[in-house]
Amino acid sequence: MRVAFFQPYLANWRIGFLSAFIEQNSHDVIVYDGGFKQKDDPKSLSGHDANFSITRLWNASWVFKYKNQDYPLYFSPFLFFRLIKDRPDRIITEGEINFLNNISIFLYCFLFRKKFIWWSLGKVRDRKPNALTRFFEPIINFLIKRSSCVLARNTLAKTYYLDCKNVNEDKIILAPNSMNTRLVLDDLEYPAPNFSIEGRIILYVGSLIKSKRPLDLLYAFKIMRAERESQDVFLWFVGAGPELEQLQEVTKQLELEKSVNFYGAIFNGVGHYFKRADVVVVPGMGGLVIHHATLLGKPVVSRVADGTEYDLIHEGKNGYILNDYSNHNLAEAITKVLDNQNYHEMCQYSLNLTKNHWNSSIMIDRVNQALMK
């Protein structure tokens, strides 16, 4: 079977999965990179190397603001013609965010009697409905209905398609959105940094952008230190982005320079930072970082993220989920993890959860199930 994956941008996290999928299957796989790249690329979305062949398409995408929200319109004008040339039997494509390209994919499948699979998180949780989203909704609903299968990336996404999009349950497959387990473990083979700090480590890994709310974590950390008798707690930021300068300035204002470290973006060897950490915190939007943390046996404190938190964080057993944006509550939840008498059991719970229920092997099996639909 000739299988095509279309991604409007080929991010590092998706390369990891595709690498494992290609290695473990005999399918003839084509990977299309839609070619989108933001000017500053704050989330490091594109330009990564891969150990498989990539077909990079010219793109005419753009991002515009509406009601204080960014709306990327991904569009690769020559995708339709490339599909005619390559003639894939199945196309696995990004869902709602990619609807313009999905029109081209639908037309190809309709004309040549092929099938496409809708691969998505469902509703973007930090985006409010408005006139613009309502305008495009009929097109998206039409495309979802014409897909052969919906690959939901977490349980919340599956529920969304069942309850809000009225998709039949037998058409939905839950494929846990996972890091490439082998690559995560191989990453630990890189030389470990010389961590000279003695104490408890709170870790943030991700782009330093507003939607991820790293500044909230800084304020929560200040609250924690004010309330703790022991000051042997440190906050590490691993990531880069436009919020870095403000974070560094606020760190000085709060007199936390000796307790907060900024390491920049790290791709090779980042696992050592997870292993050294005592708790990983997701103060804003995120998802795969939760899997990365639990895969390496770490408790996680998360606010509303992409829905993965409900699958990978079990309240009190390996972390906590907060449904508000109170920095005091965030500080309290982090403290509960650090001071938990069953801390080591929390770490083991995370390891068992990913080993048995949420990993790249299960994800690949579910994608193969979708291809048979």
pLDDT-wise least confident of 33-37, 72-76, 113-117, 185-189:
33-37
Which DSSP string corresponds to 80-145? HHHHHHH--SEEEEE-GGGHHHHHHHHHHHHHHT-EEEEEE--S-TT----HHHHHHHHHHHHHHH
Residue type, 68: N
| DSSP 8-state class, residue 261 | E
Supply the pLDDT for residue 132. Answer: 79
- 261-310 pLDDT per residue, tens: 999 999 899 999 999 999 999 999 988 999 999 999 999 999 999 999 99
Let me know if the fold of 2-178+359-371 is the same as that of 186-357: yes
pLDDT-wise least confident of 2-11, 66-75, 172-181, 187-196:
66-75
Supply the pLDDT for residue 44. Answer: 45
Report the mean per-residue pLDDT for the chain: 93
Supply the pLDDT for residue 131. Answer: 79
Domain ranges for the chain, please list them.
2-178+359-371, 186-357
- Tell me how far apart the alpha carbons of residues 107 and 105 are, in angstroms, rounded to a whole number: 5
- Tell me how far apart the alpha carbons of residues 201 and 135 are, in angstroms, rounded to a whole number: 46
pLDDT of residue 351 exceeding 80: yes
pLDDT of residue 325 exceeding 50: yes
Q: For residue 35, which phi and psi values (nearest 5 degrees)? A: 85, 5
> 294 is written with which tokens?
């639990």
**Closest by alpha carbon to 370, among 25, 84, 13, 102?**
25
Supply the pLDDT for residue 47. Answer: 55
As a whole-number percent, the residues of the chain with pLDDT over 90 amount to 80
Residue in the block written with tokens 């906590």: 320
Listed in sequence order, the DSSP H helices in 269-372 are 271-276, 288-295, 308-312, 327-338, 343-357, 360-371
Q: Please state the rounded mean pLDDT for residues 5-9.
A: 94
Supply the pLDDT for residue 135. Answer: 86
As a whole-number percent, the residues of the chain with pLDDT over 70 amount to 97
> 107 is written with which tokens?
């037309």
Which DSSP string corresponds to 211-228? GG-HHHHHHHHHHHHHH-
**Closest by alpha carbon to 325, among 358, 278, 356, 285?**
285
For residue 48, what pLDDT band results from cuts at 50, 70 and 90?
Answer: low
- 116-148 pLDDT per residue, tens: 999 999 987 767 777 777 888 999 999 999 999
pLDDT of residue 158 exceeding 50: yes
pLDDT of residue 37 exceeding 80: no
Residue in the block written with tokens 């994608």: 367
**How are the residues of the chain apportioned to helix, strand and coil, as percentages rounded to the nearest 5?**
45, 20, 40
**Run of H or E including 181:** helix 181-186
Number of C-beta neighbours around residue 232 at 10 A: 10
For residue 61, what pLDDT band results from cuts at 50, 70 and 90?
Answer: confident
Q: Please state the rounded mean pLDDT for residues 156-181.
A: 96
Domain 186-357: which CATH number of 3.40.50.150, 3.40.50.2000, 3.40.50.360, 2.30.40.10: 3.40.50.2000
Q: Please state the rounded mean pLDDT for residues 50-60.
A: 90
Q: Please state the rounded mean pLDDT for residues 193-217.
A: 94
Give the number of residues written for the chain: 373
pLDDT of residue 42 exceeding 70: no
- 69-110 pLDDT per residue, tens: 777 889 999 999 999 999 999 999 999 989 999 999 999 999
**Contact of 232 with 226, CB cutoff 8 Å:** no
Fold of the domain spanning 2-178+359-371 = Rossmann fold (3.40.50)
